[in-house]
Amino acid sequence: MIYNEDEPDSQETNEDEEPHEEKLRYDTVPYDVRPEEELYAYREALDTPEQPPQQVQVVFDAHGVPVAQPAAPAEKKKPKTLLAVATIGCLVLAILAIWSLQQGPPPPPYVDLGNSNVANSGLSGDFVARWTGKANYLFYVNPLSSDDLPGFAAVAANPPRQILFTIHLKDASGITICEKEIVFPFKAPEGGSAMPTQGPPERTMDGDAIIYERGSQGEIVRIEVNGPMNCAEKFYDRIAAWNFTTTYPVRGDQNDWVKNLEGGSAVKQAIKKKSGPAPLVRTLPAPIDGDDVIVGDNPSRGIVETRSGRVFLVGPGGLSARGQGWGFFPAAIHFHCDVKANCTLTRAGASSAVSAHLTK
The Cα–Cα gap between 313 and 279 comes to 9
pLDDT band per the 50, 70, 90 thresholds, residue 175: very high
For residues 6 and 14, the answer to whether their CB atoms sit within 8 Å is: no
pLDDT band per the 50, 70, 90 thresholds, residue 191: very low
Is it the case that residue 12 has pLDDT exceeding 60?
A: no
For residues 224 and 245, the answer to whether their CB atoms sit within 8 Å is: no
Beta-carbon contacts of residue 66 (< 8 Å; ≥ 6 apart): 58, 59, 60
Q: What is the pLDDT of residue 264?
A: 45
Q: CA dihedral defined by 119, 121, 126, 131, rounded to 10 degrees?
A: -120
User: How far lies 231's CA from each of 115, 166, 239, 256, 346, in Å?
Assistant: 20, 14, 10, 38, 40
The Cα–Cα gap between 229 and 208 comes to 10
For residues 142 and 156, the answer to whether their CB atoms sit within 8 Å is: no
The Cα–Cα gap between 327 and 334 comes to 16
For residues 77 and 83, the answer to whether their CB atoms sit within 8 Å is: no
The Cα–Cα gap between 128 and 164 comes to 18
pLDDT digits (tens, 9 = 90+) for 293-349: 888 777 767 778 888 888 888 776 666 656 666 766 777 889 988 888 888 888 887
pLDDT band per the 50, 70, 90 thresholds, residue 117: very high
Radius of gyration of the chain (CA): 54
Q: What is the pLDDT of residue 67?
A: 66
Q: What is the pLDDT of residue 32?
A: 65
For residues 283 and 340, the answer to whether their CB atoms sit within 8 Å is: yes
